[in-house]
Structures are given as C-alpha cells and as structure tokens.
C-alpha cells in the first residue's frame, strides 16, 4: 500500500478511535453548541423586525435600543455575578434547564403581546437564558476534553454557532408572517432544546466543587494589567459587529441606498466571518508566536472595517468584504479567551470567563443607549438622516480602537506572560 494511503488510513483510524473515546463528551459539546446557536440566532432576529416592532409599539430609537439590546444586556451583565455560583450550587443540567425555560417564557411573551412593558419583560427573560449559554459551553469543553483538543472544539463550536447566527437574517428575509408568529415557532425550538439538555447534560461537574464565586476574586483578577487589558480587548473587538447586528443597521444602510436583501447579506456575511474566524483562531492560537502583534492586528482590522462601512460609499461587493473582515476581527474574542486559558488556573479561568461575559454585556448595554440617545437628541419628527447616524457612530469608532490605548498605557506584552505558562 502506498505510504500516503497508509497514512490516510491511520489518520482515519485515529479519528474514529477519538470519536469513540470521546463520544459522551461530543454529545455534551453538541448540546451546548446548539444552545449557544439558539441564543445568538434569536438575538439576531430582533433587528430585522425593527420597522415592524417600532410601528406596532410606536417606539422611539432609544426605546427600541432598550428592548433590542440594553435591557437584554443589563440582565446579561449582572448575570455574570451569579452564573458561576449557580453552576457550582446546582450543577450544569439544572441551570441549563432554567435557562431554556426562561427562553420559553420569552418567546411566549413575544408571540402574544404588543405591549412595550411585556416585550421588555420578554427580553429580560431571554437574557436570563443567555447568561448561561457561553459559560456552560466553555466550561464543559474544558472539563470533558484534554487540553490539546480544547482550542479546536471551542473554535469549531464557535464556527457552528456563528454560522447558525448568520442564518437568522436569511430566515427573517423569507419569513412572510408577523414577528409574533416567528417567535411562536422559536418556542417549539426551545422545547426540543430542553429535551436535549435533559438527555445529554450531566447534573454536576467539577465547577460545582470549586470554592465560592466571590466578587473579591473577580476584583483581584482585575488588578492584573494583563487580564484587564484582555478584558478591554474582548469588549471592544466584539462591539462593532454586535451593535450593527442588533440596532439600526437596516435603517442606516437603507439611507446608503442598499436594499433590505443586501443589508441582510451584509449581516449574514459578518457572522460567517466571525464563525470562520473563531474556528481558525481556535485551531491556530497555540501556534501564534507573537500574540502582541496579533491582538493589535485584530483591533486595527476591526477599526478599519467599521470606519469604511460607516463613512465610505463603496459598492455592494466591497461592503460585503468589509463586513466579512469585521466579523473575522470580532473572533479575536476567542483568541483572548485562549490566551487566558493558557495563563490562568482552572478556578481563575472560571472567574475570568464570567468577567469576559460581564464586559461584553456592559458594552452591549451602554453602546445602544449612548448612540440611541445621541440620535434622539439630533432627530426631529422621529426622522434621522445619514449624517446624524455617522456623527453618532464616531463614538463607536473610538470605542473599537480603545484597546490600543490600553495596551500602550499599561505597556503590556503578552509574548512572555502568556506563553511561558504553556
């Protein structure tokens, strides 16, 4: 048998053996990935229905920002203070069942009411479920796979979640019913997800045996300039894509003379870029020789793409490319998590995972309020023009570039700090 065929057979045999050996872990991984995919998918479905929701509820820009992002992010933000404790106290299965039940309540309210207050409550329920999605995914991968497989499985899971999130814009584009009926369908998806969690997710796990998840442990980590710098990086690198996916994208780009279908293509390709970037980053992060340069490159790429998207009048193809790279740059979040995974102990990584979610939630809470408030202040008769949007987005442009200032202020170098710990 030729050598290359022999090597292929051996490689295939090794893959089959790995699948058999880790079949239980893979089932757990697939379930957590499905949950993360659902959370991202449903959250992306709010923005395409913006015009319908604003018309049905008679909302201002600020009010829509509150229900689309800020209320959701508010609960998500403070959920990071208790999600680790609840996992420790009750185990993975119990908290994930609670999370899916919260999502069921959210979809039920979205399907049945036109009241601003009840829609707001629905978004709060959705956030209660989302609080546990990412942290359970990361922790269960860390607990059920050897370290050499953790990066690839985190990257591959993020790829699948990102691709599923990107499909939200396609499904909403072909949906012909009301937004109420759409979220009623999502309720049935939650029921299926609930059965998967009950069947596959273990009741407990190693994190349930860890010591208390206290604020002082988080504060101690924040005193480390390397951890703090990476947290700022995580919040900033994800902010551009997150804002455009959840707020104002359809109205803004229609002012730039793009059709609804083209705008959905932009947002879809951004999430595809994020998904592919997560997979590539997760698989290759262990081979990065100069993390300092990589982190700065992610920030510069994100800043450049966002500025071009907002302030330049490029054609459809060039905008598509910029959105693809904006999404790819957002996958720097996975790189930062991988660096933290190498540098921190298991207990510290539990805390810092909550801190990453905390900073992302804080950014998702603050940015829509700031930009929505700026638009309302500059808007007359509830109509904002393109220039006012571009002025408001100056704030977000500087926010995306903020990690460069933080890296310079603290003069941090991740080359030695993180990779000596491997």
Please report the pLDDT score of residue 207 as a whole number.
41
**What confidence category does residue 10 fall into, taking pLDDT thresholds of 50, 70 and 90?**
low
Quick one: pLDDT at residue 13? 54
CA distance 47 to 255: 16
Instruction: For CA atoms 386, 388, 390, 393, give the dihedral sign.
Output: negative
Least confident segment among 40-49, 181-190, 239-248, 268-277 = 239-248
Cα(326)–Cα(332) distance, rounded to whole angstroms? Answer: 11
Q: What share of the chain has pLDDT > 70, as a percent?
A: 83
Secondary structure, 3-state, the chain: CCHHHHHHHHHHHHHHHHHHHCHHHHHHHHHHHHHHHHHHHHHHCCHHHHHHHHHHHCCCHHHHHHHHHHHHHHHHHHHCCCHHHHHHHHCHHHHHHHHHHHHHHHHHHHHHCCCHHHHHHHHHHHHHHHCCHHHHHHHHHHHHCCHHHHHHHHHHHHHHHHHHHHHHHHHHHHCCCCHHHHHHHHHHHHHHHHHHHHHHCCCCCHHHHCCCCCHHHHHHHHCCHHHHHHHHHHHHHCHHHHHHHHCCHHHHHHHCCCCHHHHHHHHHHHHHHHHHHHHHHHHHHHHCCCHHHHHHHHHHHHHHHHHHHHHCCCCHHHHHHHHHHHHHHHCHHHHHHHHHHHHCCHHHHHHHHHHHHHHHHHHHHHHHHHHHHHHHHHCECCECCHHHHHHHHHHHHHHHHHHHHHHHHHCCCHHHHHHCCC
* 35/131 Cα distance (integer angstroms): 11
89 vs 117, higher pLDDT: 117
At residue 193, the pLDDT reads 92
Residue 1 has pLDDT above 50, yes or no: no
For residue 35, which of 93, 76, 81 has the smallest C-alpha distance?
93
Q: What is the pLDDT of residue 208?
A: 40
pLDDT at 417 over 70: no
Residue 290, token pair as written in the block = 């100069």
Rounded Cα distance between 75 and 272, Å, is 27
pLDDT exceeds 60 at position 347: yes
Predicted pLDDT of residue 114: 86
Spatial neighbors of 246 by CB under 8 A, at least 6 apart, are 43, 44, 46, 47, 68, 69, 364, 368
pLDDT at residue 157 above 90?
no
pTM, full prediction: 0.73
Comparison of pLDDT for 221 and 123, the residue scoring more: 123
Structure confidence at residue 355 (pLDDT): 81
Return d(Cα 183, Cα 48) in angstroms, integer: 13
Nearest to 247 by CA among 54, 387, 118, 114: 54
For residue 340, give Cα distances in angstroms to 140, 275, 417.
Answer: 16, 20, 10
Range of weakest confidence among 89-93, 218-222, 229-233, 360-364 = 218-222
Mean pLDDT of the chain: 80
In the predicted structure, residue 204 carries a pLDDT above the cut 80: no
Higher pLDDT, 146 or 31: 31
Residue 232 pLDDT greater than 80, yes or no: yes
- Give per-residue pLDDT as tens, 103-120: 999 999 998 888 889 999
Contact 63/123 with Cβ under 8 angstroms? no
Instruction: Check residue 293 and give left, alpha or beta (phi > 0: left; psi -120 to 50: alpha).
Output: alpha
Q: So what's the pLDDT on residue 422? A: 42
Answer whether 377's CB lies under 8 Å from 256's CB. Answer: no
Q: Is the pLDDT of residue 174 over 90?
A: no
pLDDT of residue 282: 66
**pLDDT tens, 364-412?**
888 888 888 888 787 766 556 788 888 888 999 999 998 888 877 765 5
Lowest mean pLDDT among 145-149, 166-170, 325-329: 145-149
Rounded Cα–Cα distance for residues 112 and 189 (Å): 17
**Range in 224-228, 270-274, 352-356, 406-410 the model is least confident about:** 406-410
Q: Is the pLDDT of residue 281 over 70?
A: yes
For residue 405, the model assigns a pLDDT of: 84
C-alpha 144/C-alpha 417 separation (Å) is: 27
What is the pLDDT confidence band of residue 307, given thresholds at 50, 70 and 90?
very high
Partners of residue 383 on adjacent β-strands: 380
Confidence band of 289 (pLDDT split at 50, 70, 90):
low
* Length of the chain counted residue by residue: 422
Q: Which domains does the chain carry?
A: 25-419 (1.20.1250.20)
Least confident of 83-92, 111-120, 298-307, 385-394: 83-92
Contact call for residues 45 and 99 (beta carbons, < 8 A): no
- State residue 139 phi and psi, 5-degree precision: -70, -40
Task: Quote the pLDDT of residue 318.
Answer: 92
């Amino acid at each position: 048998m030729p050598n290359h065929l022999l090597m292929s057979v051996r490689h295939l045999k090794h893959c089959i053996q790995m699948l058999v050996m880790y079949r239980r872990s893979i089932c757990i991984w697939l379930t957590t990935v499905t949950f993360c995919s659902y959370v991202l998918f449903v959250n992306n479905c709010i923005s395409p229905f913006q015009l319908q929701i604003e018309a049905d509820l008679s909302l201002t820009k600020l009010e829509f920002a509150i229900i689309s992002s800020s209320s959701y992010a508010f609960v998500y933000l403070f959920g990071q203070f208790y999600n680790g404790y609840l996992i420790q106290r009750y185990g993975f299965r119990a908290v994930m069942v609670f999370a899916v039940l919260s999502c069921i309540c959210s979809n039920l309210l979205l399907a049945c009411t036109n009241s601003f207050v009840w829609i707001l409550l629905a978004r709060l329920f959705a956030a209660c479920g989302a609080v546990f999605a990412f942290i359970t995914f990361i922790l269960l991968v860390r607990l059920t796979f050897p370290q050499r497989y953790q990066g690839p499985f985190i990257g591959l899971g993020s790829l699948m979640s990102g691709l599923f999130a990107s499909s939200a814009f396609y499904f909403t584009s072909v949906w012909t019913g009301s937004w109420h009926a759409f979220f009623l369908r999502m309720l049935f998806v939650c029921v299926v997800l609930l059965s998967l969690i009950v069947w596959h997710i273990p009741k407990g796990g190693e994190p349930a045996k860890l010591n208390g998840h206290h604020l002082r442990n988080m504060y101690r980590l924040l005193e480390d300039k390397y951890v703090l710098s990476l947290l700022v990086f995580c919040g900033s690198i994800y902010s551009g894509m997150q804002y455009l996916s959840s707020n104002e994208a359809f109205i803004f780009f229609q002012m730039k003379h793009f059709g609804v279908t083209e705008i959905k293509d932009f947002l879809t390709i951004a999430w595809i870029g994020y998904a592919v970037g997560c997979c590539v980053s997760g698989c290759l992060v262990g081979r990065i020789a100069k993390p300092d340069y990589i982190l700065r490159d992610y920030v510069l790429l994100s800043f450049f793409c966002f500025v071009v998207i907002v302030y330049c009048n490029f054609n459809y193809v060039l905008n598509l490319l910029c959105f693809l790279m904006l999404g790819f740059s957002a996958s720097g979040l996975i790189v930062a998590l991988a660096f933290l995974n190498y540098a921190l102990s298991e207990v510290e990584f539990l805390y810092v995972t909550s801190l990453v979610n905390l900073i992302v939630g804080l950014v998702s809470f603050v940015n829509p309020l700031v930009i929505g408030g700026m638009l309302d202040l500059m808007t007359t008769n509830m109509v904002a023009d393109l220039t006012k949007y571009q002025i408001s987005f100056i704030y977000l442009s500087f926010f995306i570039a903020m990690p460069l200032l933080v890296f310079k202020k603290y003069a941090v170098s991740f080359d030695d700090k993180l990779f000596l710990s491997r």
